[in-house]
């Protein structure tokens, strides 16, 4: 099953050979819509295969398949509109100092994109996931390194996408799949691979990121590696709605057995009666959550070891103890610690690192200054959440704390929970390292920008210009001409 170096080379070269077939925007859009349609038509088989390999359950996987198909349709609309080409035309202007020549700029596809599939989303972040959909939308052929946790699902989805290509007159090799650890290393090093997208662990992602940078010709590596997703509960919020917050937190941190990249893994809660009430509700919510199966034994072992080591630290309590529950399952829980123990380097730094699975850390703070000291020590995140009182004027801490959270993450939530990432044009799923290795998003319309590069034509005769940049705009594309939308 694992691809050899020769098979990886063949996959990349076959993808590179068909890149010109993706140049037609109408054909690409038709392909993306056909992919969505065929994924839905094959949904029963896809969900059955994915559930057998991941134990995520039909309900969760049905929703994920709907999201996956929606991503393809969304990118088809992006391709149809054409604004992603970011066309700018500046006519000659001899009155400028220095004078302007005729300049025409747009974006072109990078070439073959390597996509590294995720374990926790066998559809939406794997073979037919957002990295694949956005790269194909940009006009880039894709070679996916399938995740070992769901190889059959990967092959099934690949066959669906290849059928969609054939149905719309495109070569099937606009998408190919390879398997195996060594194949992943060979893929990132291949000279015809022009960019890569990754969702996974900090360790694995950083190794591939370093390999991408060490190539004779380095390439962009858009990696999503890990996130603590901090939550700050203001004193006013706890006093106003402790029960609501405790219930919401319990539901969010245990959703999908805690295997979401946006799981709230670290929460700052005030000391005192209101904070105590919040923890009481959280205890009731988490205690009523049944045990669950993690995606593979490696994740289960890491979770059990991680929570045991964290719980053994001085001053750490476990109101609901997380850990092993039978031979294959794990139970949800949470840990508490005084925030003062986290304001300086020490063994408690482990509490500021992601632990994948159904656990969160509650740090009890005594003052806003203590919150600030802890936030200053946090790594980059995908999300950061502020739970505040309903009326901001009655919560004087809300503004300063929101400002303190903003540098830490790519998506800032107020009075919500981070699990659940809408596939919308304004979405940003990324953040400062180690959340991601770039400033781009992997969800939403602007994810397409990762696989494009700008090119400017200067003083080029009309007959030599690409159709996208010609004066009469034969393709009817949105663009800026002399600084104004046209």
Catalytic residues: 224, 261
Residue with tokens 């969760």: 60
Burial of 342 (0-12, 13-18, 19+ CB in 10 A): buried
Closest CA to 26 of 73, 80, 74: 80
DSSP tag of 411: E
Rounded to 10 degrees, the C-alpha dihedral 183/187/189/191 comes to 140
Residue 93: DSSP 8-state: B
Q: Rounded to whole angstroms, how far apart are CA atoms 350 and 337?
A: 12
State residue 124 phi and psi, 5-degree precision. Answer: -70, -20
Secondary structure class of 1 (helix, strand, coil): coil
Beta strand spans in 332-472 (E): 333-338, 359-365, 381-387, 409-414, 452-458
Calpha distance 449→426 (Å, rounded) = 14
CB-based burial label for 116 (10 Å; 0-12, 13-18, 19+)? buried
**Using CA atoms, how far apart are residues 429 and 433, in angstroms rounded to an integer?**
13
Distance CA 180, CA 134 (A): 24
Strands ordered across the beta sheet of 333-338? 317-320, 333-338, 359-365, 266-270, 230-233, 381-387, 409-414
With CA atoms as reference, report the closest residue to 248 among 60, 420, 416, 421: 416
Residue count (the chain):
486
Check if the beta carbon of residue 385 is closer than 8 Å to that of residue 230: yes
The token pair at 234 is 């203001």
Q: Which of 265, 258, 55 is closest to 153 using CA atoms?
A: 55
Q: What is the C-alpha to C-alpha distance for residues 337 and 50, in angstroms, rounded to an integer?
A: 38
Which phi and psi angles does 276 have, rounded to 5°? Answer: -60, -40
Query: At a CB cut-off of 8 Å and minimum separation 6, what does 125 contact?
Result: 117, 118, 131, 199, 442
Secondary structure class of 368 (helix, strand, coil): helix
Q: Are strands 484-485 and 479-481 parallel, antiparallel or unpaired?
A: antiparallel
């Amino acid at each position: 099953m694992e691809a050899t170096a020769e098979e990886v080379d063949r996959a990349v070269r076959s993808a590179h050979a068909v890149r010109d077939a993706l140049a037609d925007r109408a054909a690409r859009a038709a392909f993306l819509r056909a992919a969505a349609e065929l994924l839905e038509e094959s949904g029963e088989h896809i969900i059955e295969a994915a559930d057998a390999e991941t134990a995520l359950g039909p309900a969760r996987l049905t929703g994920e398949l709907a999201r996956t198909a929606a991503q393809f349709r969304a990118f088809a609309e992006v391709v149809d509109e054409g604004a992603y080409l970011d066309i700018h035309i500046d006519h000659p202007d001899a009155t400028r100092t220095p004078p302007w020549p005729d300049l025409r700029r747009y974006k072109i596809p990078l070439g073959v994109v390597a996509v590294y599939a995720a374990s926790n989303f066998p559809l939406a972040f794997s073979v037919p996931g957002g990295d694949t959909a956005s790269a194909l939308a940009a006009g880039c052929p894709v070679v996916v390194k399938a995740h070992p946790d769901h190889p059959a699902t990967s092959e099934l989805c690949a066959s669906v996408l290849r059928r969609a290509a054939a149905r719309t007159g495109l070569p099937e090799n606009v998408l190919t799949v390879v398997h195996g650890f060594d194949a992943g290393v060979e893929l990132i090093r291949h000279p015809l691979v022009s960019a890569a997208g990754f969702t996974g662990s900090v360790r694995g992602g950083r190794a591939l990121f370093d390999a991408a940078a060490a190539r004779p010709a380095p390439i962009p590596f858009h990696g999503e590696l890990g996130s603590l997703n901090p939550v700050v509960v203001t004193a006013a919020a706890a006093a106003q709605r402790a029960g609501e917050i405790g219930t919401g937190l319990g539901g969010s941190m245990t959703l999908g057995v805690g295997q979401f990249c946006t799981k709230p893994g670290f929460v700052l809660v005030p000391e005192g009666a209101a904070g105590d009430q919040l923890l009481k509700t959280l205890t009731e919510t988490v205690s009523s959550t049944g045990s669950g199966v993690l995606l593979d034994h490696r994740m289960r072992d890491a979770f059990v070891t991680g929570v045991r080591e964290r719980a053994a630290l001085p001053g750490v309590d476990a109101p609901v103890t997380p850990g092993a529950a039978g031979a294959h399952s794990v139970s949800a829980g949470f840990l508490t610690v005084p925030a003062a123990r986290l304001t300086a380097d020490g063994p408690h730094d482990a509490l500021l690192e992601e632990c994948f699975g159904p656990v969160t850390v509650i740090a009890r703070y005594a003052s806003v200054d203590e919150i600030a000291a802890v936030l200053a020590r946090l790594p980059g995140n995908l999300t950061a959440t502020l739970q505040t009182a309903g009326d901001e004027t009655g919560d004087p801490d809300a503004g300063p704390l929101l400002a303190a959270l903003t540098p830490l993450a790519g998506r800032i939530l107020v009075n919500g929970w981070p699990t659940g990432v809408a596939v919308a044009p304004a979405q940003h799923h990324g953040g400062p390292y180690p959340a991601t290795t770039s400033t781009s998003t992997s969800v939403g319309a602007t994810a397409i920008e990762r696989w494009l590069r700008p090119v400017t034509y200067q003083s080029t005769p009309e007959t030599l210009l690409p159709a996208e940049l010609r004066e009469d705009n034969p393709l009817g594309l949105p663009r800026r001409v002399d600084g104004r939308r046209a």
